[in-house]
A and B are shown apart, each in its own frame.
Chain A
Amino acid sequence: MKRIIILFIAVAVSALIFNHPVPAAESPPVKGETLPEINLAVPQKSEHRSYLGLPVSGLFKIPDIKARVILIEIFSMYCPHCQKEAPEINEMYKLVEDKPNLRGKIKLIGIGAGNSPYEVEIFRKTYNIPFPLFSDGDFSIHDILGEVRTPYFIGIKINDDGSHKVFYSRLGGIEKADKFLELILRLAGLKQGGSK
């Protein structure tokens, strides 16, 4: 009987592995840990490349972005809350860009869970989103990030030695741009002025 149970479990586990080559993470990124490795294509638009401080082409990892703090929004064009919050995220981008002491230190990107490049572009155009958005059409990044509901925000802080830590990992509900920016600055240990 014991042999039978072991055989049954072994078959079920192997079938799951072969049927799902990229196992989904069990939980979203955890504060204090590093972000799971995610490879993204360098944006085609030069203003986005310049914003992120990236070379002309190829792949990059999120911590390669030139910034002290990177805020990642996991969104979907099909998500009503993402649609509702889009203007507030834009406002937050503007607040950062308008402050000389913050500009260049805090960068925003969006990743469209299950959204094709066409669908991501629809979202960008509809809400006039100024920061770079990336497609995750096959949900592979969404899987790595623990299949979070949307919108989900992840903040990472880049240390002087190039290492990084997740300092914010939470489901949506940013409500007001200024309050959210304040929160991000406080949790990242940055002052409004931008210095540590």
Chain B
Amino acid sequence: MKKRYCLIVLSGIIIAFLMNAAAFGLSDAFKNNIYNPGKLKPTDSVLKVKTGDRAPDFTLPAVSGKKISLGRYLGKKNVVISFVPAAWTPVCSDQWPGYNIVKDIFDENDAILLGITVDNIPTLFSWTNQMGKLWFPVLSDFWPHGGVADAYGVLRTDGTAERAIFIIDKNGIIRCIDVYDINLRPRLESIVRELEKLCK
């Protein structure tokens, strides 16, 4: 009987915590089309790279129709890779539109931003259309599914990517890795601070 009560108490706590999704401010740009998965395990992968490593090269299709390789920026630009978990989900939908108004900060730091999700191109096309015209390439890591996310060690066990930022310098070396709690949007200033360190 005692064991039974313990189980009831435990399940009550678990259900209550699951119901208590993280706060997020959702833009009306997406109307009622955002699927809320609730509060997720903050991180769910093991990094396969570390700062100081050469960044694994990749070539991915962009929403624009082009193919973009990381290697094309070697010797030319610092690269900020923003992995987000999935299109049409709450926090992700309110992340890149903010980066869209700070192109000047990326320019000042001689950097390009690459947005990557594991969604396919048609999904990314529809989703990013709600954000206005994005100045940075949005890349699809759909097939082989999550291949690039996996190479960096940010592919979650459910096939989505972590919410993560990798900053790679002009020599192709990873200078900063931040894997964030998937339920929270990273502060813009934390990315800018890391970018500015590269240019000092």
Contacts and interface: CB of A to CB of B under 8 A. Distances in A.
A51 interface: no
B132 A149 contact: no
Contacts of B28: 79, 81, 149-151, 171-173
7 contacts: A11-B9, A79-B27, A79-B29, A80-B131, A116-B187, A122-B188, A126-B101
Interface string B16-31: 1101100111111100
Contacts of B94: 76, 78-79, 114
B62 to A, nearest CB: 20
Given A8-B11, A12-B16, A119-B98, A142 B25 contact: yes
B97 interface: yes
Interface residues on A, range: 35 or more
Nearest to A9: B12
B146 to A, nearest CB: 25
B157 to A, nearest CB: 25
A13 interface: yes
A119 to B, nearest CB: 5
Given A12-B16, A15-B12, A80-B97, A114 B185 contact: yes
B27 A15 contact: no
Given A76-B25, A122-B101, A13 B131 contact: no
B89 interface: no
Interface string B104-137: 0000000000000000000000000011100000
Given A77-B98, A78-B95, A79-B97, A119 B189 contact: yes
Contact of A78 (B5, B9, B27, B192): B27
Nearest to A17: B16
Contacts of A173: 28
B199 interface: no
A43 B62 CA distance: 43
Contacts of A119: 98, 187-189
Given A81-B29, A114-B25, A116-B187, 10 more contacts: A12-B13, A13-B16, A15-B17, A16-B19, A76-B25, A79-B94, A80-B29, A122-B102, A143-B23, A171-B28
Nearest to B23: A139
Contacts of A12: 12-13, 15-16
A2 interface: no
Interface residues of B, number: 34
A150 B94 CA distance: 10
B188 A118 contact: yes
Contacts of A7: 5, 8-9, 12
A118 B27 contact: no
A147 interface: yes
Interface in A128-143: 138-139, 142-143
Nearest to B132: A80
Contacts of B12: 7-12, 15
B33 to A, nearest CB: 12
A19 B20 contact: yes
Contacts of B27: 76, 78-82, 149-150
A83 interface: yes
A150 B189 contact: no
Nearest to A151: B28
A195 to B, nearest CB: 34
Contacts of A102: none
A11 B8 contact: yes
A196 interface: no
A113 interface: yes
Contacts of B4: 4
A-B pairs with lowest CB-CB distance, top 3: A11-B12, A79-B27, A15-B16
